[in-house]
Structure 1
Amino acid sequence: MINFLAFKRPVIRFVLSLTLISTAVSAQDVKPIAPAVLPGQGLKQYDFFYAGEAPTRNMYIVRGGKIAWKYIDSTGRGEISDAILMANGNILFAHQYGITLINSDKKVLWQYNAPEGAETHTAQLIGTDRVVFVQNGNPAKVLVINIKTDSVEKQFNIPFKSGTHGQIRHARLTAQGTLMIAHMDLGKVNEYDTDGNILLSLDVPSVWSAVPLKSGNILVASNQNFVKEITRNGYAVWEVQLKDIPGYKLTDPQIAQKLPNGNFLINNWFNSWEKKLDKTNPPVQAIELTPGRKVVWALRSWELGPSTTIQLLNDPNNITEKAFFGEFK
């Protein structure tokens, strides 16, 4: 009688050996997407406010290297594309299907719900009484709302060419009281006055954000994986292609800012709808680059989730407290 088990056991052992070897080789083939030891002091590098586009709407304040405050919303709708912490502790955030103002106790002070078919991804306070925001839709428009009376005090249409979701993610008031809008679908940065007149228009392919700088220049981040500081004539005085930074895989810059020390802080967003985070090889959420493009700080603290915006506390370049839009102050 033939003992078939005697043949099966060696075959099983052989197959298991091949599987283990294959797994080991695959693990060795996985290229790290960031250094094991990062430059800087991690969460202790700065005190900052943090939020990012994700399936849950979470925000954090980090002080002294620890999470000092957090807001967690896992039951609502939409994504946080923009959030600003004010000096009084209030936070205004745009979350795709609306805009909400809360205080440090997380009490809702004011809320706007976008109409059906529209989206709101960016907003900014004007003083304590008004909010200016962009509403994606057909048509796309800018609105100024008095949050005390809940009345629309100004609105005008702006150009668009894509469907609602792909139109605009970011806008900021300038020190001159105009509104700088990053038209992602148009590939343009446009500056508007309160009557909707276009004062400036610059070509920036797939632009996600446009931050007006103290110098008058504009810091732009693009879905084409670059960040540039450009003049009002469109000339690049500084730029970086994120794929060229050695040792890091950086794929999705959304908002960049220029720090008081002259360095550049760039977030690296992670799409948690389409990808699963590999906790054994996670990407960094942000990097700080010198003008010479050296990484001097990298953030990798995934208890904070994906990164869209990082606002340094006590940043002297922050003009949000003094923001105005034309006659609205």
Structure 2
Amino acid sequence: MRMNSILKLVIALCFIAPNSLWAQKANQEITHSFFIAGPQFTGIIGENGDVVWDSKKAGARDGYVLKNGHILICWGDEVREYNKKKEIILRYKKTEESMELGTAVRLSNGKTLITESGLNPRIVEVNKKGQVVKSIPLKPETDNIHMQTRMARKLKNGNYLVPHLLAFAVKEYQSNGEVVQTFNTDYKEFGGRKAETWPFTAIRLKNGNTLVTLTHGNRVVELNSKGDIVWQISNELYEENPLVDPCGAQRLPNGNTVITSYGAQKGIKIFEVDRNKNIVWTYTNFRAHHFQILTTNGKPIKGTPLK
């Protein structure tokens, strides 16, 4: 498949100014280019640390570079899709003043999944014109709109995996809104609900496990099908305390896990750990709410939309 123009630009910039890795640790062997959705910047960062593409609107919550080279971004008030000319070809705006949009994901059927937190929290699927064609009611167990939900994802079986922060629960919904499975995250061994292990991003992995970031609890856990923890990291493992309100996460094809520290004002903003929990890559410039790794050492990540 011919690489799209955005990917060509990203890879080209990977080899410009090799001594300017000012945001990616200079002595590390790994470099990444990535999309970043954050409070200061929303766009694409090249492997040399420079800005490749800038949306000119900060504060994004979610976003991806799509297979066709377009870029899909979710802010709290709207979702936009940009084409290669940076023209907005899809726009979905919140319909109530108090409502918050939390995530946007392009589905295999071409529709876009969006979460709406509000008086009637739900997942919607919209068509290319931004029209709602499916609506799934959610049960976040709170009227606190900002804390109802974050990174929802549609599973291969057609169900939806949804983290609910103040419910301390990751719920799997059928399309009729029925909850068929719940993973509770108020673990007694971590201090129960006082530890504020709120689930933020929940990702169903290829092995059937579920990767979950636990925001204020400063932990990331991998759960088996029963909800038992089979792998985890916390600041207890590291001197630099890299986990500061972890929000976004991505499991790479090599088994490594990349995580944001959304609450970090200084130091590490995004970092990568291997299966042995060693930190192998860090990024220290813009704060990140969510992200998408695009390339590693000049090569597209296998399994990403760019490959």
Q: TM-score, normalised by structure 2?
A: 0.79
Question: What does the per-residue CA deviation read over 1:116-143, in whole Å, with 9 as the maximum and x for residues that have no partner?
Answer: 2111011111247421111000111111
Structure 1 residues 103-112 or 217-226, which shifts more? 103-112
**Structure 2 partner of 1:31:** none
Please state if 1:159 is matched with 2:139.
yes
Residue identity opposite 1:120 in structure 2? L
Q: CA deviation at 1:234?
A: 0.5
- For 1:176 and 1:309, how far apart are their aligned partners in 2? 25
**Structure 2 partner of 1:123:** 104
- For 1:290 and 1:112, how far apart are their aligned partners in 2? 37
Unaligned residue ranges in structure 2 (runs of 5+): 1-23, 186-196, 295-299
**Structure 1 partner of 2:93:** 113
- For 2:253 and 2:267, how far apart are their aligned partners in 1? 26
Provide the identity percentage: 24
**Structure 2 partner of 1:174:** 155
Change (3 A) 1:250 1:156: closer
Residue pair 1:229, 1:238 contacting (<8 A) in 2 also: yes
Question: What does the per-residue CA deviation read over 1:184-204, in whole Å, with 9 as the maximum and x for residues that have no partner?
Answer: 121111112222222211102
- For 1:37 and 1:106, how far apart are their aligned partners in 2? 31
**Structure 2 partner of 1:244:** 237
- For 1:177 and 1:315, how far apart are their aligned partners in 2? 25
Question: What does the per-residue CA deviation read over 1:79-112, in whole Å, with 9 as the maximum and x for residues that have no partner?
Answer: 3111111021111111001111112322111111
Change (3 A) 1:127 1:292: closer
Residue pair 1:38, 1:297 contacting (<8 A) in 2 also: no
- For 1:61 and 1:121, how far apart are their aligned partners in 2? 22
Change (3 A) 1:243 1:307: farther
- For 2:287 and 2:101, how far apart are their aligned partners in 1? 19
Residue pair 1:243, 1:251 contacting (<8 A) in 2 also: no
Unaligned residue ranges in structure 1 (runs of 5+): 1-35, 272-276, 322-329
**Structure 2 partner of 1:311:** 292
**Structure 1 partner of 2:33:** 47
Q: CA deviation at 1:295?
A: 1.1
Please state if 1:143 is matched with 2:124.
yes
**Structure 1 partner of 2:113:** 132
Residue pair 2:25, 2:282 contacting (<8 A) in 1 also: no
Q: How many residues align?
A: 264
Choose from 255, 258, 271 the match for 1:262.
255
SS at match of 1:133: strand
Choose from 253, 263, 277 the match for 1:293.
277
**Structure 2 partner of 1:98:** 78
- For 2:156 and 2:31, how far apart are their aligned partners in 1? 28
Residue identity opposite 1:49 in structure 2? F
- For 1:180 and 1:295, how far apart are their aligned partners in 2? 28
Larger Rg: 1
Residue pair 1:124, 1:133 contacting (<8 A) in 2 also: yes
Q: CA deviation at 1:64?
A: 5.4
5 Å-filtered alignment, 1:279-290, equals 282-290=266-274
Q: CA deviation at 1:146?
A: 1.6
Residue identity opposite 1:285 in structure 2? K
Residue identity opposite 2:124 in structure 1? L
Choose from 143, 166, 170 the match for 1:189.
170
SS at match of 1:254: strand
Change (3 A) 1:194 1:137: same
- For 2:236 and 2:91, how far apart are their aligned partners in 1? 39
